[in-house]
Structure 1
């Protein structure tokens, strides 16, 4: 994490939650500074250090460190969710469609997969609900990630007893399609595996940056677990945005911006420098019958097989 990003997040968190502001104590002495409180929370997320470990290094008591972590994850969610867990805007869609076309998958916006976070201190009464086939108690994170490791969609909280298909049916990843507001061989297997590894790489980088996710959770409160996961994903996206220009295959988003936007994902005729025109989806007043019809279309196995055959022929 760069120094500029660190200071920008300190300012944003301090503005969102007055808890991080430096205030005098009962003796009139100034308490911990915003940077101290922010550093405590970040170290607990990145290194999974205990609250009583940071008291010597940062001069903050154990109870204050726990409080810093709780306020920090909530402040990150409140301050940055709309920006760093947003739906794709027009520029994002143009760039993602361009990248997918270049990799041999037209109209691909990302790859989807699930990750299990082990819950060591799960209450005994819930272990039957959260214990999977491997006899480990876990909570599932479903995510959609692009090639640059940006996580576009998250769905966290499904019990570990569920498989990926059940998680997909529970999540809201296809909700825009249901509501009518969405933006409308060996070689195939090899390319599909390369694209599928995007979300796996995103999970690996997320766990490498935040050890608290990589190891078994010692937290009792399920709501706090959800807050921590969401905060870590937001921080991950902020780091990706800050470091994206250093990536080998980085492309400036300016080349994907267009003045006149009329069509949905319609590629130009030029083979290289492919550009896409995208229009924003609209909220339609759908009846229950129309909603169920769209839902059945998304889950239709025959349509899925036909699309897969067309993609194999295309590649």
Structure 2
């Protein structure tokens, strides 16, 4: 997680590069096939758009490919909201130990920065999702700009998949703990 010293650097970089003040990064999930999943677990790791069981990685990445949050795998629905609710992303906020990174926008004080998401996440102050139906030119501009910035997380997933076959191809490892340990060792070496 970003420290109190990291947060201003993230804020400054996203403001300078993308024009989004007080942004911490982009949040999304990626799925990949789990070829060696045991028969007993297959129903627990199924997602409609995959033919068989899949694994999920939730991550937040900044523009320089720093993945500062990663939550790997889980049984159950395997959709982005279920993963968000079971991940530890907001544990520090809930426990009151997250760095105070207060800022004001439109006269409202926000205690923490935000992450950009696609349209499948809940409406929380720390998550800014793409506008589904922009009404005017200003909203259309914001939607285009946000969608271009969200490519940071897609690029980070692309780099992971390109460099480490555990995410690019169907996983042949059976135990989730071995896959998680393999991922944690390599994923934070991108930059």
Q: Name the TM tier (shorter chain).
A: 0.7 to 0.9
Task: Find runs of 4+ consecutive structure 1 residues off by over 6 angstroms.
Answer: none
- Measure how far apart 1:90 and its partner are: 3.3
Q: Which runs of 5+ in 1 are unaligned?
A: 1-86, 241-315
Residue of 81, 87, 93 corresponding to 2:7: 93
2:46 aligns with 131
Cα-to-partner distance string for 1:163-214 (whole Å, 9 max, x where unaligned): 1111111111111221122223111101111221111100001111112320
Q: Which of structures 1 and 2 has the bigger CA Rg? A: 1
Q: TM-score, normalised by structure 1?
A: 0.46
Residue of 177, 182, 191 corresponding to 2:145: 191
Query: Would the aligned equivalents of 2:46 and 2:78 in 1 still touch at CA under 8 Å?
Result: no
Q: Is structure 2 residue 102 aligned with structure 1 residue 164?
A: no
| 1:214–1:160 CA distance, 2 compared to 1 (3 A) | farther
Q: Give the whole-Å Cα distance in 1 for the aligned partners of 2:178 and 2:56.
A: 15
- Measure how far apart 1:234 and its partner are: 2.6
Secondary structure in 2 matching 1:110? strand
Q: Which runs of 5+ in 2 are unaligned?
A: 101-110, 112-138
Secondary structure in 2 matching 1:200? helix
- Measure how far apart 1:160 and its partner are: 6.8
Q: TM-score, normalised by structure 2?
A: 0.74
Q: Which has the higher helix share?
A: 1
Per chain length, whose mean CA-contact separation is higher, i.e. which structure has more relative contact order (CA < 8 Å, sep 6+)? 2
Q: Which has the higher strand share?
A: 2
